[in-house]
Each structure stands twice: as C-alpha cells, then as structure tokens.
Structure 1
Amino acid sequence: MAGEATSQAVTLPITGSCHCGAVSYEMKVQPRFAVECNCSICRSLGTVWGHGEAGDIAITSAPEATLAYSRGDKELAFHTCKTCGSTTHWEAIAGEAKGRMAINLRLAEPGTIEAIGHRHFDGAETWTFLD
C-alpha cells in the first residue's frame, strides 16, 4: 500500500498545536499511517488524521478552549480552537469507536505526514482506502 511502503519512524511523541497555541496535543505512539478522508467534514476542514487510542493522546488546553462539533450519528466530536479556528482533533463519544481519537497531523512539525506515510480514505462513499 502506498502509505505503508514509505512509512518510517518519527520522533515520538508527535506534538502539534493550533495556530494561536491555545490547544496542543501529544501522541505517544506512531499511527499506522496518516489518513486524508474525503467525507464532507474532513474535506471542508482540510485535515490529515493520525488515529489512536485516547489513552495514547493528550490534549492540553484551558477549559472550554475548544468548540466541539458533532452531527449525524453524533459518534464523533470534532474539536476546533475557539480563538484561531484550527481543528485540532476528534474524539469518539459513542458507538464502536468510543475510546479512539485522532489528531490533525497538519498541525505537527513539517515532514511528519510524509514520515508516517499518507493514505487516502473514501469516507464519502465506499468507506475503503483508495490506494
């Protein structure tokens, strides 16, 4: 697979923050790959996700620093900084994925996505990887 063939170790933890620095994250483990999804929300946000277990990801921010957005089945909450508007992460709040999170790797150091390996996911129609 395209993303797996180029993946290599990255410096752990993976860290990133919103533009203004009010919300930051730290991921203790390397995701299998960086995922770019074409569903309506991910396409609108321009995100590339690093998925993991909630216990392996720490979000640091002041209370109420993010706006949580959820629609449809209300299983995922997308978090955006209230100050600068950067989408930092999502968390599964219900359903089978509960306990999972993803960080927006576009907010990590340049080269992180390429080092992990970038895959494209069809979240709009087939719910499969496109590579």
Structure 2
Amino acid sequence: MPDEASQTMLQGACHCGAVRLTLPFAPETATSCNCSLCRRTGGIWAFYGLGSVTIEGHPEHTESYVWGDRTLRNLRCRTCGIATHWEPLEGGPGARHGVNLRNFDPRLLESVLVRRFDGAQTWEFLD
C-alpha cells in the first residue's frame, strides 16, 4: 500500500486550485515536446489511458484550445490560465490523454525520466 507522501505526490492542481488532478500511478517516463504549443506552455507530459486520471473542476473550470491536426483538445484553467491536460476530441480503443506534470509536487517530476520529443519537425524522440 502506498504511503501518504507518495499518494500526495499523485495529486496536483493548477495555480488557483480550480482544476485538480489525481494520477492512478506515478509515471516512469514523461515527455518534453518542442512543438509550437508545448514549447510555449512548458508542459512536461505524462500519458494515461483516457478516463484513468481523476480530474475535478473539468469542464466547469477549464477552457479548451484545438489547433493543428484537430485531434486533441488542450485544456487550461479558465481562472489562472495554467495548462493542465489534453484529451482526444474522439475517444476510441487505446485513447489516452496527457497530464502536465508541472502541476504536481516537484518530487514527482524529479522521479521520472523526461524524454525529449521533436514535435516540431521529425516526430521522433531526440534521446
């Protein structure tokens, strides 16, 4: 059974706390992407099966932004503007969503391998 400290690390929130996220488990890896959106938000993304992350305050406290190939909805808190997560516009078998680990205790991000992804050009990992 996980201890209280590790459970606390799996709970995160936007800056104002209107959007709260609880991960089902700690990720082993995360992704830092250099696409035009991710490089501006500074998000470090962990991926989970769609619906496996508990997200409180969504959709009532979030607003979405859809761009590019129009397959993802990027979400942020409508009060403080912090990027919280993304989800597919159409969920299907194997659908997943991304969670911005910057909204969690910094120890969680320190505990995972962060891989660099070239979303700007090659769509390949750089490491």
Q: Distance in 2 between matches of 1:70 and 1:26?
A: 24
Structure 1 pair 41/63, CA: closer, same or farther in 2 (3 Å)?
A: closer
State which of 8, 11, 21 in structure 1 corresponds to 2:6. Answer: 11
| Cα shift readout 1:10-64 (whole Å, capped 9, x = no counterpart) | 9357221000000010110232311100000000111000111023211100642
Q: Are the structure 2 counterparts of residues 76 and 62 from structure 1 closer, same or farther at C-alpha, using a change threshold of 3 Å? A: closer
Count of residues in correspondence between the two structures: 122
> Does the aligned pair in 2 maintain the 1:92–1:98 contact within 8 Å?
no
Q: What is the RMSD of the two structures over their aligned residues, measured on CA atoms? A: 2.1
Amino acid at match of 2:114: H
1:95 Cα deviation after fit: 7.6
Relative to structure 2, which stretch is displaced further, 99-108 or 57-66?
57-66
Contact 1:75 1:92 in 2 (8 A): yes
Contact residue 75 and residue 95 of structure 1 kept, 8 A: no
2:31 to 29, 35, 50: 35
Summarize the alignment of residues 59-78 of structure 1 with structure 2, pairs less than 5 Å apart: 59-61=55-57, 63-78=59-74
d(CA) in 1 for partners of 2:93, 2:112 = 22
CA contact (8 A) 2:49 2:94 kept: no
TM-score for both structures, normalised by structure 2? 0.86
Output the CA distance in 2 between the equivalents of 1:23 and 1:72. 25
User: What is the CA distance between 1:73 and its match in structure 2?
Assistant: 1.8
Q: Tell me, which stretches of 5 or more residues in structure 1 are unaligned?
A: 1-9
Cα deviation for residue 84 of structure 1 reads: 0.4
Q: Return 5+ residue gaps in structure 2 as ranges.
A: none
